[in-house]
Amino acid sequence: MRFKQGQVWRCLNDACGAELTVTLTGELDEGGNPRCCCGSLMKMPYEQPKLRLTEDSQEVRRLLQRLATVLR
């Protein structure tokens, strides 16, 4: 599992409610989600996807070309 600076992880145990903020980017050795000090798994809260708007026609063209090669 890759941790990125600024991510927030929350304990799934409602009685615990611990929250962890990642301060340095890094990797978790065994993979998967981290465990809280209480032993429960931790997860990142769900964030709804956001639509990006761009005025850069070159970027739009590159993204469309990449999409076209994937769909072939």
Looking at the whole model, is its pTM more than 0.85? no
- pLDDT per residue over 16-71, tens digit each? 989 999 998 888 776 678 889 999 999 998 888 888 777 777 888 888 899 998 88
In whole angstroms, what is the distance from residue 25 CA to residue 10 CA?
17
Amino acid 3: pLDDT: 84
In whole angstroms, what is the distance from residue 25 CA to residue 34 CA?
14
Amino acid 53: pLDDT: 76
Query: Across all residues in the chain, what is the average pLDDT?
Result: 87
Q: Structural domain boundaries of the chain? A: 1-45
Amino acid 26: pLDDT: 83
Nearest by Cα to 43 from 2, 9, 3? 9
